[in-house]
Structure 1
Amino acid sequence: MQMYRPLVKLLFRLLWFLPLTAPQAAEEIVFDNFSKRINLVKQDAHYRVAATGHRVSLSRRVIVKTAASVAKAEVLAFHPKVSAVTELFVGRAFRYYALTLGSEEQLPGVLKALRRLQLEGRVDIELVQPDILQLKSKSEADISGSGKSSYFSLLAIDALWQKTKGKGVRIAVIDDGFNLDHEDLQHIRPIFSYDSETRSLNASAQALTDNHGTKVAGIIFAAHDGLGIKGIAPEADLIALRQPDTWTSNTLLSFQLAKLAGADVINCSWHSQWLLQPIVEIVNELAYNGRDGKGIAVVFAAGNQGREITTGSNEASIEQALVVGANGEDFRPLSFSNYGPTVDLFTYGVGAQSTLVTGQYGTFSGTSLASAIVSGLSALLIAEQPGITLTQLARRLTLITTNNKGYPQLDGENRARKQ
């Protein structure tokens, strides 16, 4: 044993100089969402929502809500690590800004400091969140062999065409991009186009996988020219907004651009995996104050997981949105369609022919199809009656999409809560 004493002494000396530290806890981001504390735990290159397990990505941006009177220069002074401020959305009583930091590593400290300033009331901050990227679900079901497009007769769209084909109504479509060189979409001259990913005034699809927006555009806008298909509102104006991701900042900006471009209807044939407070607040703002107080129809797809939409689960749970499920030719909800108290109406989702990004035609189905149909119908009804309110529009849509059967679970109940 004596021969090992020098080695033992050396080991003790080395250990003496090693720092005595507890195991490092995983880096955590803390913020509020609907007055609930949210903890994001660092996990490799991503973060995990501690309570739900959702995986998200963060950036060096912070989302801040202020009173409407707070200017960019004031926001820039909120913290010395803020290098730039971008205005994202302006409501009647509030504004949303994106604050850019020097690096993502500064995010935890800046969030903590801004939350402290908010709680102390030292600056006019109403909400602080990181800019979050989460998964986006396009609400198209896989129904092979369908594509009859029988919704024209089922919904008596021909009768509406005797009065209008949507002229003068502006429909914003927020999606993954558009091929407006398609033979059935070449007549479209967007009144505004923007790509939130490239920050350019061009909403063209960037890859063959960017197929969803072109399908939505075909259902709503396809020309009545004897070629392939017919759109529901071919004379309506398109506001083309390419947003292939769910960064909170990009979503807020897309809705702001739709509002500034004068949208009467905003089509969102998708939903994310987790509902964030800023999205709810801007949808409510548009529904209450858009169209000079008559309300912009913000149309969301219910989703195709065949489950009940729970409170705060995703955009389909927003009460002030027009949330659309899918039904069949018998006007009964389809088994794959999500459902719940926030679903305002169900309409045809079995399958229809639409335009593809490749320039060809293919099948489109699910609640994505159903919400595109409702957006087109909304344009026809607004063109026919420009003074129609969002509440009145929802009631007329319910009558049309239930074939005047007035199923009690769909008729009036949800919209009455949204007035």
Structure 2
Amino acid sequence: MDLHEFWKLVLEEAAAAPGNAERRIVTFHDPRQYAGALSQWKSLKSRRPGLRRVKASPLIRAFFVPAAGAVKLMQRYGEAIAVEEDLRIQIHSQAPPVSAYKPPRSLPWGVRAIHAPQAWSRSTGVHIKIGVIDTGADFLHPDLKSSLATGVNLLHRGMLPIDDNGHGTHIAGTLAAAGGTRGMMGVAPRALIYPVKAFDHTGSAFVSDIVLAIDWCVQNRIDLINMSFGMKSRSIALHDVVIKAYRAGIPIIASSGNDGKRGGDYPARYSETIAVGAIDRKRRVASFSNHGAYIDVYGPGENVPSCWPKDSYKEMSGTSMATSHVTGAAALLLALRPGTTPRELKQMLRRSSAPLLLRKGQRRATLGGGALDAMRLLRSRGRRQKCANSVPRVPG
């Protein structure tokens, strides 16, 4: 493969394409060829500004290039590379997305419902590093100041991952807010959140942004990843990077979506993730929540209060909110039992969940897992036998 010619073609298209041009994900089959291409790209982009628009994920041996250039690359090097559309992906929240909420005087209902306060005598999630791939976080919020690490802004490198949407701050609050009696308390108040800003102010991102986000989490040895977003289509690149994180021992907890249907969104439907649905205050599957045998556990997701930018608080509904409860409970467990694998965590969440209350016409077997219970999770034991790994999941 002529790598000089490869980059010449990419450069021609990168120079001609507008700034908001569609992209393609170009993955190399041969690790040695990718290593050579990556080395050339690093040396060329300092002299060729057009190549700075190209991004790379060494974890899955991929480059993200302008769409027009990818066509020529596929024609020339089709046997050495694979080309995939760089699809849009959205955060999971209900519309209307928010309602105002006064500063809390008691623990949020979801934190109480999963028995997190009872678990704090055993674990508060201390030192667990949680990568929250989302819209960023409000670093000035008084309830989050001690809970946030610097993280990364993938949309504007060199800038803090400031939240310009609100969704990421809400997730962070449920996960690890530590406002005490006068503010918000999250499920794992001593965990450390690393905001990974991959979504813009509209709550939209590309698959390539998510690939880069997971790549960053793996390279920075994050313990746990929260992904409260999804899309209807399967992506080979996204699945590949999820598998890489799984093999690196990093659990990914993903929201199933808010269509109120049997089935769900990707990446939650990949077997390497932990799929989350939402329940209401009565421990029933929320009307908006996707459901099915592939769901591993359900968390509180209806009218959940949490932190919001500019020192405020708001309620939101969605499987996003449910996911942050599950990720928080997982942080409590990992602090108590470091070294728990993604497979073991999935098994423990399923086995320790409490029975759901069924709506008329529902059958328990069609819903998958039960309701999250942090105390039962901390008491559960992981099984390391091969025969204990049969978790039903819709094929990815």
Q: Same fold (TM over 0.5)?
A: yes
**Of 168, 176, 183, which aligns to 2:142?**
183
Q: Name the counterpart of 2:384.
A: none
Instruction: Give the counterpart of 1:174 among 114, 123, 133.
Output: 133
- Within 5 Å, which residues of 2 pair with 1:150-299? 150-190=109-149, 192-205=150-163, 207=164, 210-244=165-199, 245-287=204-246, 289-291=247-249, 296-299=250-253
| Secondary structure class of the residue paired with 1:315 | coil
**Local SS of the residue matching 1:235:** coil
> What's 1:42 paired with?
none
Give 2:22's aligned residue.
58
CA apart distance, 1:417: 4.8
Alpha-carbon deviation of 1:255? 0.4
1:301 shift after superposition: 0.8
Residue 97 (1) aligns with residue 56 (2): no
Residue 108, structure 1, aligned to residue 71, structure 2: yes
* TM-score (normalised: structure 2): 0.75
Counterpart pick for 1:316 among 250, 257, 268: 268
Distance 1:242 1:326 in 2: 24
Q: Is the 8 A contact 2:89 2:229 kept in 1?
A: no
**Contact conserved, 1:232 with 1:373, CA < 8 A, in 2?**
yes
What is the identity percentage for the equivalent residue pairs of Structure 1 and Structure 2?
22
CA distance in structure 2 between the aligned counterparts of 1:317 and 1:204, rounded to whole angstroms: 29
SS at match of 1:253: helix
Q: Deviations over 1:137-195 (max 9, x none)?
A: 423464888988322332211221001110121100001111020111111340x4211
Q: How far 1:65 sits from its partner (Å)?
A: 3.4
* 2:8 counterpart residue number: none
Q: 1:31-110 alignment to 2 at 5 Å?
A: 58-59=22-23, 62-74=25-37, 86-90=55-59, 95-98=60-63, 100=65, 105-110=68-73
Find the residue that maps to 2:275 and give its secondary structure.
strand
Distance in structure 2 (CA, Å) of the matches to 1:68 and 1:237: 34
Residue 374 of structure 1 aligns to a residue whose secondary structure is helix
Q: After superposing the two structures, state which structure 1 stretch, 133-142 or 273-282, moved more.
A: 133-142
Match of 1:4 in 2: none
1:86 Cα shift? Answer: 4.3
Instruction: Identify the structure with the greater helix proportion.
Output: 2
Q: 1:405 to 1:378 in 2, by over 3 A?
A: farther
> Which one-letter code corresponds to 2:61 in the other structure?
Y
Q: Secondary structure at the match of 1:316?
A: coil
Distance 1:144 1:402, change over 3 A: farther
1:180·1:188 contact (CA, 8 Å) conserved in 2? no
Match of 2:383 in 1: none
Change (3 A) 1:280 1:62: closer
Contact conserved, 1:222 with 1:229, CA < 8 A, in 2?
yes
Contact 2:89/2:207, CA 8 A, preserved across alignment: no
Matched AA of 1:87: A
- Asked if the contact 1:139/1:271 (under 8 Å) is kept, the reply is no
Unaligned runs of 5+ in 1: 1-44, 47-55
* 1:387-412 alpha-carbon deviations (Å, 9 max, x no partner): 32223322332355426999554349
Q: CA shift at 1:269, angstroms? A: 0.8
Q: Label 1:269 to 1:411 Cα distance change in 2 as closer, same or farther (>3 A).
A: closer
Maintained 8 Å contact 2:108/2:184: no
Residues 180 and 143 (structure 1), Cα distance of their counterparts in 2 relative to 1, 3 Å cut: closer
Determine which structure has more spread, i.e. the larger CA radius of gyration: 1
Indicate the larger mover: 232-241 or 151-160: 151-160
Alignment partner, residue 359 of structure 1: 311
* Contact persistence 1:185–1:218 (CA under 8 A): yes
Distance 1:128 1:187 in 2: 42
Query: When the two structures are superposed, what TM-score results if normalisation uses the length of structure 1?
Result: 0.71
- For 1:185-229, what per-residue CA distance to the aligned partner results, in whole angstroms no more than 9, with x for missing partners? 111340x42111112251112x3xx11000001101111422221
SS in 2 for 1:181: coil
Backbone CA RMSD of aligned residues: 3.4
Q: Which runs of no fewer than 5 residues in structure 2 stay unpaired?
A: 1-16, 42-47, 102-106, 359-363, 371-387
- Aligned residue pairs, count: 337
Secondary structure of the structure 2 residue equivalent to 1:139: coil
| Change in 2 beyond 3 A, CA 1:66/1:77 | farther
Q: Report which of the two has the higher share of strand.
A: 1
Aligned to 1:371: 323
Q: What's the counterpart of residue 11 of structure 1?
A: none
Deviation for aligned residue 1:129: 2.2
Going from structure 1 to structure 2, the CA distance change for 1:333 and 1:184 (only over 3 Å counts) comes to: same
